[in-house]
Structure 1
Amino acid sequence: MSSEQDHAAFRRRREQSVRAAQGALALVTTAWIERPTTIDGVPGTWAPTPAGDGVALTATEADEITVDGRVVDGTVVVHPHDGMTPSRVRFDDTRTGYVIQRGRGVGVRIWDAESDAIARFEGFATYDHDPAWVVEGRFEPGSVEATVGRSQGGERVERMAGTVRATIQGHEVALLAMPDGDALQIVFADATTGDETYGVGRFLFVRPRRDGSVELDLNRAIVPPCAMSDQFDCPLPPAQNRLPFAIRAGEQRPRFADAAAA
């Protein structure tokens, strides 16, 4: 496919992804579980497990909650989504859930495939595709720690996979990159942030080649999930990734219909 066709396909996949049943627009609740508690809007009692291996869910058959396809009638352990044996929770025809494990403990995320955000979503405001924003760089691996702020406040020390060096519009940059499976995640801000683009910053995912070279297609810069649901706690750009020049490429902001008109 041509570059224009490839970019159009990327845009279609991106919008399908955020509209999905567990896409960014569907997240309606993130509840941190520190003691036995209930969660607004869904049945059951939720508690941290003594072993710290997930969340203990207590419910009756009448609650109609299923975990991994079985109706809960008693107490079961719901294992973390990113663990070796992740559990799938279903509440009804539109609402699902899973457990997350973070530095602050364990939490439960509730997703609604018919959320208000999905209903009001009208797509992303984006810059026009421009091949000039596709640049070559080089990945220099090296595990380093960096203090990274969070969209909901506070900071966290994150381990970086290394640095991506490139020349962007005549500016030499050295961008810290976090590991993301077989890819790298670059969280950055630029002179458009908070004005033309979303105020938290933007994400760019890249995959280094075996020789360390890497393509940075800034047309694929995306807004973080916290732009679509305030239930996400997104990383902020580390100081090294706050660029003094404008990157007028990629996504700007999600667009939503007015709530009164929806």
Structure 2
Amino acid sequence: MSNAAVTAPQETERAQHDAFRRKRDQGVRAPQGPLALQTTAWVSEATEIEGVPGTWAPADTGDGLRVTADAAAEIIVDGATVDGDATIYSQTSMTPSSVRFDDRLTATVIGPDHHGRFALRVWDAEAAEERGFQGISSFDYDPAWHKQGTFEPVDGGVEFEYGKSQGGSMRRALSPGTIRFEHDGEQIEMVALPDGDSSLQIVFADATTGEETYDVGRFLYARPRHDGTVSLDFNRAIVPPCSMSDQFNCPLPPAGNRLTIAVRAGEQRPTFGG
């Protein structure tokens, strides 16, 4: 086999990785990207929220929040100026709402949480620039960290516990199965949180965590194939959104996902100017 035949796939993978990095940078800088989140206000009764107009309360419909304001407040919900009451539907509803306060501030609603509450999230489109965001440092692309693993479904799932970056009690979750891959002759096993239809969110830490990479750990997304194989490209491991805004409450790596190996691939930390 010629050298050209060997290097061509690697060059293709590198080009795909470069495209991924560009898209990732655009995403975190977006008007509602991780850097833009300014407020997460959980609402259980009628209240005012610092930095935005209106009175906010749980919606009578039970699937979002209600805002009360007159037209002078210039709150726009789903394209219409609020003059009285308006319902803002959660991002998990069939028809999630959009909220605009001005050219800079927008909002969305998340929830319900385990108390049945919904929260208003306020986003600042100029936050990345104001904070002097320079990018996310990352390891050089390394094709050796694009692993091919296996996914073994488990009837009833694999139960595990994990914490959250803002503390509180441990949460229980079910991984739909077990993910395994090999590194330097060692079989490594992980669990994952379901993420959408058939995608999995792997929250992991490794020997670089807290030293070369972000203290909380990193995320990796994977989609098992029908034959049980799964592509694990650690070059696409990303820092969690709580690394860019303390308004996020990120899952922490469960005990089984705290790897002893050093995964020197993927993102390291967000960087900001002085």
Q: 2:21 is paired with a residue of what secondary structure?
A: helix
**2:204 pairs with 1:185:** no
**2:141 pairs with 1:136:** no
More strand by share: 1
Of residues 111-120 and 226-235 in structure 1, the stretch that sits farther from structure 2 once superposed is: 111-120
Deviation at 1:117, TM superposition (A): 6.1
**Structure 1 segments of 4+ aligned residues over 6 angstroms from their partners:** none
Partner AA of 1:131 in structure 2: P
Contact 2:29/2:128, CA 8 A, preserved across alignment:
no
> 1:225 aligned to 229, 241, 254, which one?
241
**Corresponding position of 1:53:** 63
Judged with a 3 Å threshold, the aligned counterparts in structure 2 of structure 1 residues 138 and 82 are, in CA distance, closer, same or farther, namely: same
**Corresponding position of 1:111:** 123
For residues 68-102 of structure 1, what are the alpha-carbon distances to aligned partners after superposition, in whole Å with 9 as ceiling and x for unaligned? 10111111111101211111111111211111002
Contact 1:220/1:250, CA 8 A, preserved across alignment:
yes
**Corresponding position of 2:163:** 149
Partner AA of 1:77 in structure 2: T
Counterpart-to-counterpart distance in 1, 2:240 and 2:135: 14
**Aligned ranges 1:155-234 → 2 under 5 Å:** 155-181=170-196, 182-234=198-250
Q: Percent identity?
A: 56
Counterpart-to-counterpart distance in 1, 2:159 and 2:48: 37
Deviation at 1:170, TM superposition (A): 2.9
Q: How many aligned positions are there?
A: 258
**2:39 pairs with 1:23:** no
Counterpart-to-counterpart distance in 2, 1:161 and 1:185: 11
**Corresponding position of 1:38:** 48
Q: 1:2 is paired with a residue of what secondary structure?
A: helix
Q: 1:62 is paired with a residue of what secondary structure?
A: helix
Counterpart-to-counterpart distance in 1, 2:75 and 2:232: 44
> 2:256 aligned to 223, 240, 247, which one?
240
RMSD of aligned residue pairs (Cα, Å) = 1.4
Partner AA of 2:15 in structure 1: Q
For residues 156-194 of structure 1, what are the alpha-carbon distances to aligned partners after superposition, in whole Å with 9 as ceiling and x for unaligned? 222322221111233311110111113111000001111
If you compute each CA radius of gyration, which structure gives the higher value, 1 or 2?
2
**Aligned ranges 1:76-95 → 2 under 5 Å:** 76-95=86-105
Contact 1:60/1:72, CA 8 A, preserved across alignment:
yes
For residues 39-68 of structure 1, what are the alpha-carbon distances to aligned partners after superposition, in whole Å with 9 as ceiling and x for unaligned? 111000111134421111111100000111
**TM-score, normalising length: structure 1:** 0.94
Counterpart-to-counterpart distance in 2, 1:13 and 1:3: 15
Uncovered stretches (5+) of structure 2, i.e. residues with no partner: 1-10
**Corresponding position of 1:124:** 136
**TM-score, normalising length: structure 2:** 0.90
